[in-house]
Amino acid sequence: MTTRVGIVGFGEAGAAIGAGLAEQGVPVTAYDLRFDGPDGRALRAAADRSGVAVAADIGSLASRAEVVLCLVTSAAAVAVAEALAPQLRPDHLVADLNSTSPELVRRVFDVIRPTGAAFVDVAVMAAVPPHRHRVPMLASGPGAARLATLDIGLQVEVLDGDPGAASAVKLLRSLLIKGLEALLLEFAVAAVPLGGADRVLQSIKGTLPTDWKELADYLLGRTARHGRRRSAELAQVAEMLRDVGVEPWLADAGARRLRWAAEHGLETRFRDRDPGSYQEVVAALRAAAAGADRSTPGAQ
Amino acid sequence: MTTRVGIVGFGEAGAAIGAGLAEQGVPVTAYDLRFDGPDGRALRAAADRSGVAVAADIGSLASRAEVVLCLVTSAAAVAVAEALAPQLRPDHLVADLNSTSPELVRRVFDVIRPTGAAFVDVAVMAAVPPHRHRVPMLASGPGAARLATLDIGLQVEVLDGDPGAASAVKLLRSLLIKGLEALLLEFAVAAVPLGGADRVLQSIKGTLPTDWKELADYLLGRTARHGRRRSAELAQVAEMLRDVGVEPWLADAGARRLRWAAEHGLETRFRDRDPGSYQEVVAALRAAAAGADRSTPGAQ
- Average pLDDT on B5-21 reads 96
**Closest-approach residue (CA) in chain B for A157:** B199
Q: What DSSP designation does A259 have?
A: H
Residue A179 to residue B187, Cβ atoms within 8 A: yes
CA of A300 vs chain B CAs: smallest distance (Å): 5
**A292 in B contact zone (CB under 8 Å):** no
Chain A and chain B share a number of CB contacts under 8 A equal to 176
Say yes or no to pLDDT of B39 above 70. Answer: yes
- Report yes or no: B52 and B22 within 8 Å, Cβ to Cβ: yes
Task: For residue A35, name the pLDDT band (cuts at 50, 70, 90).
Answer: very high
- Average pLDDT on A221-233 reads 90
Residue among B169, B182, B245 whose CB faces A299 most closely: B245
Calpha distance A77→B62 (Å, rounded):
74
A128-156 pLDDT, tens digit per residue, is 889 999 999 999 999 999 999 999 999 99
The H-or-E segment that residue A119 falls in is strand A118-124
Q: Helix A165-194 crosses helix A249-263 at what angle (to 10 degrees)?
A: 60
Residue A186 to residue B245, Cβ atoms within 8 A: no
Say yes or no to pLDDT of A10 above 80. Answer: yes
**Closest-approach residue (CA) in chain B for A244:** B298
* B183, B215, B241, best to mutate vs chain A, most A CBs in 10 Å: B183
Look at residue A300 in the predicted model and tell me its pLDDT. 35
B100-109 pLDDT, tens digit per residue, is 789 899 999 9
Q: Looking at chain A from residue 175 to 214, which residues have their Cβ under 8 Å from any Cβ of chain B?
A: 175-177, 179-180, 182-184, 186-187, 189-191, 193-197, 199-201, 203-204, 207-210, 212
Say yes or no to pLDDT of B278 above 80. Answer: yes
B144-174 pLDDT, tens digit per residue, is 999 999 999 999 999 989 999 999 999 998 8
Residue among A125, A196, A250 whose CB faces B168 most closely: A196
Looking at this protein, which amino acid is placed at residue B286?
A: R
Task: For residue A271, name the pLDDT band (cuts at 50, 70, 90).
Answer: confident
Calpha distance A240→A227 (Å, rounded):
20
What is the pLDDT of chain B when averaged over all its residues?
Answer: 90
Residue B295 to residue A247, Cβ atoms within 8 A: yes
Calpha distance A229→A222 (Å, rounded):
10
The domains found in chain B, sorted by start residue, are: 5-162 (3.40.50.720), 167-295 (1.10.1040.10)
Q: Looking at chain B from residue 93 to 112, which residues have their Cβ under 8 Å from any Cβ of chain A?
A: none
Three-state secondary structure call for residue B269: helix
Residue B173 to residue A241, Cβ atoms within 8 A: no
CA A140, A141, A145, A147 torsion-angle sign: negative
CA of B182 vs chain A CAs: smallest distance (Å): 8
Q: Looking at chain A from residue 253 to 272, which residues have their Cβ under 8 Å from any Cβ of chain B?
A: 253-254, 256-257
Other CB atoms within 10 A of residue B3 CB = 14
Look at residue A298 in the predicted model and tell me its pLDDT. 45
DSSP string spanning B183-249? HHHHHHHHHHHHS-HHHHHHHHTTTS-S-HHHHHHHHHHHHHHHHHHHHHHHHHHHHHHHHTT---H
Three-state secondary structure call for residue A210: coil
Q: What angle do CA B70, B74, B79 make, to 5 degrees?
A: 70
**B300 in A contact zone (CB under 8 Å):** yes
Report the percent of chain A where pLDDT is more than 90: 67
**Phi and psi dihedrals of B137, rounded to 5?**
-120, 145
Other CB atoms within 10 A of residue B263 CB = 14
**B289 in A contact zone (CB under 8 Å):** no
Say yes or no to pLDDT of B111 above 60. Answer: yes
Residue A189 to residue B240, Cβ atoms within 8 A: no
Q: Please, where are the H alpha helices in B85-211? A: 102-112, 128-131, 144-149, 165-194, 197-204
